[in-house]
Structure 1
């Protein structure tokens, strides 16, 4: 066990990605495909990664490491210990379980040995009744090896009386509340499941004679797999070398896919709900320009997540687009033991202003979100220090007012700027000439709902903006969290 490197001191003002999952069956050297897939999903989790494989000669084998995929799953010495035609993998950001010094025992995939054989499981999302499940399982004799909510699924499977792994998984997941996309494997089967609301993504691809499951289509692209379709909300697929079998083990409910996947989490080259993520983000910028115009000289993205929306804003407004802020592409998400002096340099380690372009200009800065507001204030000051005449913020999401309990590491509500200030108060706090967020209706229109948000039946999970949780956060309510009141 060893500690993770410290998180990047200037990435603390973003909602953190959940996790990424990937699996293949029916290919030679499955681990190599899984490693490539996880590399494409690295943006969804940078703390740690793991791979489990199986072949008939060596049985199940696994490797779990802290840090990036490229640093851990590219060496011959590691990959040769992972033979077999079937495998699954996981990249992790800790949304539940231990914080700070992450334990290797919390790194997925998790493995269990059952009477009918072994099974491994990787989970993206968050189980909102995990504390209650864990207490009950421990009282009935279960011995947990990790602090992760995902391990509950393995123990629930062990308690099931069903005769095969897929049926035991169905049994287990019927007891689970919250959000889950799961990729699992037995000796011969690759299994994929989405929760009944389909909060987190999962897609199916064809890889030669084999098959692949992934959190996003961009990971299918990197391994050369053809995108077949999304796994439906509430669907389980059981895949062997012979093909795909589909089941629907849960009560059917209206889909509530996470709308923040469109705003920030997913890679812009992925496809969600039949829509290009890039095009949706571009259209958010168009909506922003229509809803919140302002006289200015330049539209500049806060790289990289604000770029598509900034391009859309520029096109709709007619104001020139420019790279007023340059990102250091070699910074990564971590920084080796930064001294206090280095930390005080602020975002300059990661972002630098193009002074010759900015000086004397009225600048519109387009970013994906404002969470605590700390980084936004630093960026604003950098722009002013470079000689900008005015700074206007345009935000490609509505105000983030509520925490997420479905697989996103959101600060507590009292740390969210928009939960404690109105728009004008935030503008003053950030020290900018104007501040505007895209409306929730505008976001829905950009995501392919022309009529905007239907308050009675929203198409997406937008709890972080609306405070309307499609699944009750059971554990958090037991700890004192209160739901939105009618007055709010």
Structure 2
């Protein structure tokens, strides 16, 4: 069977991308079908490829890995019948660490056969000392099959002297630096682990007589599962039909540093994080933004789709009417899989179209979630002006993104981030807009529930992409010459 390449996204290259979503189920009939539905709900976390591993007491472990969308691959009954059993895990991928090319060997979950039986793992995050670990493991005889940092975990498990797979996983993860939420499986157990800082999300759900683990609560909803709780930072849960959920804490306790950009952009707005609705948090970001950076205007317009909740909050707080001045073509990605150069030159207009009748003659506030390179922002501004707007004001629902992320987000090199080389006024001039304002870091913290704002001595979140303060040293990148922020 030929492998279909993932749809390209030539007009979405000015956004930060989360790297993957993970999902697992135990104790249900045909678990792989539940996993496929869960991965479909997590598709926003990775559109490059997906994979599922299942276990059946009679047929053993089976796996399927495919490029492209879940809906295009894992809806085939022919394929799903090859993944029987009451236990399965899955992964959707957008590559960060490892090769950017399309190699099926890099698609998770990864599988290993150990003396006590097989195990498969799916990893969300990024291992910041993966290069050093890989060199050490290769020198000791390990043979890697992929370019993914996640494969290091399997090799570390293989070298562990512990007596069972959960203990080997604990042993392996103690050697790992960076960010990881892991869903894994043995022949009888579903395992979930979060790193000690809890940078990446992982939640526990109950589905019928079984259990499930997911990157986000929205994937629990699609299979009719009951949300139970978040897996806590530094916690490992081992789930089996016989014993239910068992919890251990293999790591030294540390203050939580959950990724604050999950609130801003990565998570779906219908998910719950830390007991808070993502939608409501984003709406509150818009409220804070309107308080911090008011401007006289006639229309508040979101840049779809991620800017919509913040724009609603901005409009409500400012009293300026909200309007859908820009419409997104939801089918562009599938229509133009291989755009010609002429189509590429049409740029953002293939993806977004301005409602000319709504914006003509108006002073328009455009609300977006972030500015990365600024290329898309400039094109959107030009479209709004071409449609007859009198003024264009940008309000951004995150602080300036001035530093790359090394914990599982695909971020450009620092010199390609607009905020790394320009002040806010210089960015305004570069974008050629009437005004440009970002929410402050304190304002963002207030919007996510920290009423006193950000505590400089102990921030409650990982905000390194804004502050340059990395909670875990990016060991591999420092070895390659990356310069950390100078102490103030």
State the TM bucket, normalised to the shorter chain.
over 0.9
Deviations 1:454-481 (A, max 9, x none): 0000000000000000000000000000
How high is the TM-score relative to the length of structure 1? 0.99
Q: Is the 8 A contact 1:123 1:182 kept in 2?
A: yes
Partner of 2:191: 191
- Give me the whole-angstrom Cα distance separating, in 1, the residues matched to 2:216 and 2:6: 27
Deviations 1:420-465 (A, max 9, x none): 0000000000010000000000000000000000000000000000
Q: Is the 8 A contact 1:397 1:437 kept in 2?
A: yes
- CA apart distance, 1:346: 1.1
Partner of 1:335: 336
- CA apart distance, 1:4: 3.2
Deviations 1:324-383 (A, max 9, x none): 000112224783110111111111111000000010000000000000000000000000
Partner of 2:276: 275
Q: Is the 8 A contact 1:3 1:102 kept in 2?
A: no
Partner of 1:159: 159
- Give me the whole-angstrom Cα distance separating, in 1, the residues matched to 2:77 and 2:250: 41
SS of the equivalent of 2:409 reads coil
Q: Note the residue ranges of structure 2 that are not aligned, 5 or more in a row.
A: none
Partner of 1:231: 231
- CA apart distance, 1:396: 0.1
RMSD: 1.0
SS of the equivalent of 1:198 reads coil
Partner of 1:450: 451
Deviations 1:184-209 (A, max 9, x none): 00000000000000000000000000
Partner of 1:365: 366
Q: Is the 8 A contact 2:25 2:34 kept in 1?
A: yes
How high is the TM-score relative to the length of structure 2? 0.99
Distance 1:60 1:334, change over 3 A: farther
Partner of 2:386: 385
1:283-432 alignment, distance < 5 Å: 283-332=284-333, 335-432=336-433
SS of the equivalent of 1:90 reads strand
SS of the equivalent of 1:472 reads coil
Q: Is the 8 A contact 1:41 1:219 kept in 2?
A: yes
- Give me the whole-angstrom Cα distance separating, in 1, the residues matched to 2:376 and 2:87: 43
Q: Is the 8 A contact 1:288 1:438 kept in 2?
A: yes
- Give me the whole-angstrom Cα distance separating, in 2, the residues matched to 1:262 and 1:379: 24
- CA apart distance, 1:165: 0.3
- Give me the whole-angstrom Cα distance separating, in 2, the residues matched to 1:287 and 1:35: 38
- Give me the whole-angstrom Cα distance separating, in 1, the residues matched to 2:87 and 2:280: 34
Partner of 2:49: 48
1:125-274 alignment, distance < 5 Å: 125-242=125-242, 243-274=244-275
Deviations 1:21-71 (A, max 9, x none): 000000000010000000000000000000000001100000000000000
- Give me the whole-angstrom Cα distance separating, in 2, the residues matched to 1:330 and 1:3: 18
- CA apart distance, 1:115: 0.2
SS of the equivalent of 1:456 reads coil
Report the count of equivalent residues: 486
Answering whether residue 106 of structure 2 is matched by residue 110 of structure 1, we say no
- Give me the whole-angstrom Cα distance separating, in 2, the residues matched to 1:454 and 1:119: 42
Q: Is the 8 A contact 2:6 2:69 kept in 1?
A: no
Partner of 1:61: 62
Q: Note the residue ranges of structure 1 that are not aligned, 5 or more in a row.
A: none
